Amino acid sequence: MNKDGAFHFPVLHRKHPCIDDPSPTVHAASVSDAGTVIGNNKIHQGKYFMAISLGTPAVFNLVAIDTGSTLSWVHCQRCQIFCHKQAPEAGAIFDPQNSTTYRHIGCSTEDCIDIHQDNGVPYGCIEEADTCLYIVRYGSSQYSAGKLGRDRLALGGADNYTVVDDFIFGCSEDDSFKGYEAGVLGFGNKSYSYFNQVARQTSYNALAYCFPIDHQAEGLELVTPLILGYGRQLSHVYSIQQLDMMVDGKRLDVDPSFYTRRMMVVDSGTDVIFISPPIFYAFDDAMTAAMQVKGYVREYGNGACFTSAGGKAVNWRDLPTVEMKFIRATLKLPPENVFHDEQPPGRICLAFQPDTSGVQGVQILGNKALRSFRVVYDLQKMTLAFQARAC
């Protein structure tokens, strides 16, 4: 916690010079003392992680940062049905029986009832042990299920750390999960989310992060109104309103009313950007025309991909520019945030997809678009701010 009463955790890309090991492997000893958060595609493609210590004695874990969900959970010992494989770099699997500060959450508690209602679970309880059960589902069809508990959460390093006692989380004993991290930290807008549990120890209700690409620090801050929720079913997420979109300064050939029919969820736990089909297909057409002028060949099949003539290396400085206009703010995306670099060399694919490929009817601004941007969620002023090239 800094002098202003805020928690501060650096986010380092796996190629950052402060990380001794240039390989994608993350070792607990290299991050636990610094409270570091790291992007590591070996553990989970396109995700960013935060180091936490849970229980007494403390167990180190790397968990994914997710502003699109609320309940935090970690992989626990005594898997009951099926559990994903946890990478050694993500820490040891948490065993609640080994923690002297762990307590289960009772079936009739307010926390149990709230979590059930928010996640569409009519009832879930082990009555003889008075233990509340949970299940959390993600738009990608992944899920985690297990027992709700409380324990001591430590954040930061040996010289500067903060403790959150009675931290509410899920002890996962059954999941379908594609990554190898220890679990997920939910930053969504519910009382039991990681963000709101930690925010009780601060004097201002705001969240900021920066997922790095490079190591520069410059750029003006842009501010757009922040909207809590996305319809009735997604009341916990953070949304913004898109107004327009341009490729090389030219507006897309699409009815402007399509932009305002839906809001856009800002989700750090999703990699790609999902936009409504009419906007996507207009964007795809504009990008294809711009790329063909630069000598790229459009592939048709799985995704919107382009190959340079003769397999030459991609000139990232010569790729089309993309701008996304929101209320009072225009997000100018660097090419690295627009395309995925693919194999073989000279092949790149758009990081944009129609929302029919994700959660149908839900537009999502994934973390790919916001890498190297400092993102500030100010829940007191109800604004979302972007600062380009901040990390």
Q: How far is the CA of 115 from the CAs of 69, 112, 121, 129, 265, in angstroms?
A: 12, 5, 8, 19, 21
Which H or E element spans position 162? strand 161-176
Active site annotation includes 267: yes
Identity of the amino acid at 85: K
- Cα pseudo-dihedral 151, 155, 160, 165, rounded to 10: -20
Q: Return phi, psi of residue 59, to 5°.
A: -115, 120
Strands (E), 241-380: 242-247, 250-251, 264-267, 273-275, 296-299, 305-308, 322-326, 329-333, 339-342, 347-350, 352-354, 363-366, 374-378
Rounded distance between C-alpha atoms, residue 214 and residue 46, angstroms = 16
- List every span in the chain annotated with CATH 2.40.70.10: 11-204, 221-387
pLDDT at residue number 27:
34
Q: Judge contact between 254 and 242, C-beta under 8 A.
A: no
- Sign of torsion, CA 214 217 219 220? positive
Rounded distance between C-alpha atoms, residue 189 and residue 51, angstroms = 21
Low-confidence ranges of the chain (pLDDT < 50): 1, 3, 5, 7, 10-35, 214-219
pLDDT digits (tens, 9 = 90+) for 159-204: 667 889 999 999 999 998 888 899 999 999 999 999 999 888 877 7
- Please report how many Cα atoms fall inside a 13 Å half-sphere around the Cα of residue 123, on the Cβ side: 5
CATH 2.40.70.10 fits 221-387, yes or no: yes
Which H or E element spans position 102? none
- Given the candidates 3.30.230.10, 2.60.40.10, 1.20.120.80, 2.40.70.10, the CATH classification of the domain at 11-204 is 2.40.70.10
- 173 alpha-carbon distance from chain centroid: 23
Nearest one of 47, 50, 23 to 37, comparing CA atoms: 50
* Complete edge-to-edge strand list for the sheet that includes strand 383-387: 206-210, 374-378, 383-387, 221-225
Of the residues 4, 21, 33, 66, which is catalytic? Answer: 66
164 in helix, strand or coil?
strand
Any idea what DSSP says for residue 20?
A: S
Strands (E), 197-344: 206-210, 221-225, 227-230, 234-240, 242-247, 250-251, 264-267, 273-275, 296-299, 305-308, 322-326, 329-333, 339-342
pLDDT at residue number 158:
58
Of the residues 21, 159, 166, 267, which is catalytic? Answer: 267
Q: Give the predicted TM-score (pTM) of the model.
A: 0.81
pLDDT at residue number 34:
31
pLDDT at residue number 116:
94
Angle (CA) 355-360-361 rounded to 5° is 85
